[in-house]
């Protein structure tokens, strides 16, 4: 929780807890995030920021390094 507070700048424990619940969905054994989880995270962020601008997963994160590493490990 301290990391969430530090990295996000959120100091309200209730809000930090909710943010943690959303962020934890993004973790996986492979280092990759499912499209569904990323879209849900984007939708929640858009709602919190009160914006309607379309945001693609590519604008939020670049997982090309993780895909390349996975390919080399296989």
User: Would you call 26 helix, strand, or coil by DSSP?
Assistant: coil
**pLDDT tens digits along 9-55:** 888 888 888 888 887 777 777 778 888 888 988 998 898 889 999 99
Q: Is the pLDDT of residue 4 over 80?
A: no
| Residue 4 to residues 31, 39, 58, 72, Cα–Cα distance (Å) | 18, 20, 23, 31
pLDDT for position 6: 80
CA atoms within 13 A on the CB side of 72: 6
> Highest mean pLDDT range out of 4-8, 30-34, 59-63?
59-63
| DSSP conformation letters of 42-74 | HHHHHHHHT------HHHH---HHHHHHHHHH-
| pTM, full prediction | 0.56
Q: What are phi and psi of 54, to 5 degrees?
A: -70, 135
């Amino acid at each position: 929780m301290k990391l969430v507070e530090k990295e996000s700048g959120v100091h309200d424990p209730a809000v930090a807890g909710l943010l943690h619940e959303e962020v934890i969905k993004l973790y996986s054994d492979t280092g990759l995030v499912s499209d569904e989880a990323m879209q849900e995270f984007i939708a929640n962020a858009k709602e919190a920021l009160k914006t309607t601008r379309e945001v693609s997963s590519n604008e939020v994160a670049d997982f090309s390094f993780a895909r390349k590493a996975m390919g080399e490990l296989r």
